[in-house]
Amino acid sequence: MITVGAVHCLITTLPKCVNIKASKQEILETMLNGSPFTRAVYVTSDDGVLEGIITLQDVLEGLVISLGYNPHEEIKTSQKLFKYSPFGTAGDIMKSPVFVKKIHH
């Protein structure tokens, strides 16, 4: 079993962040600049509050769909297709963040 405490030491202290209004081009540039190990960018509000996350998988699926391929049969609704379209902002494609809390014993 993996605990929050065990994962805590793997979390980066300098995460890549983009504003919720960032364009998809800005998201790609942020993800590609710097460490080759960047697997996600965090989406923040104008006040710096965490609003969501965009993973490398989300970006790659969006690129595949924009080329005319459907990597998952369940992506059929216009809402999901818009999510992966070449238009929109970070707020359109982000996933909700998951929060956990490390309990000290």
DSSP class per residue in 36-82: TT--EEEEE-TT--EEEEEEHHHHHHHHHHHTT--S-TT--SHHHHH
Check residue 9 and give its pLDDT: 63
Average pLDDT of the chain to the nearest whole number: 76
Res. 78 pLDDT band, cuts 50 70 90? very low
Mean pLDDT of 46-75: 77
> Higher-confidence residue: 72 or 67?
67
Mean pLDDT of 81-101: 74
Check residue 45 and give its pLDDT: 96
Q: Exposure string (b/e) for 62-72, b if CB count within 10 Å is 16 or more?
A: beebeeeeeee
Q: Rounded to whole angstroms, how far apart are CA atoms 27 and 19? A: 9
Res 40 pLDDT > 80 = yes
CATH class of 13-93: alpha beta
pTM: 0.68
Please tell me what DSSP assigns to residue 97. P
Specify the long-range contacts of residues 21-26, CB closer than 8 Å, at least 24 apart: 21/89, 21/90, 21/91, 22/89, 22/90, 23/89, 23/90, 24/62, 24/86, 24/87, 24/88, 24/89, 24/90, 24/93, 26/90
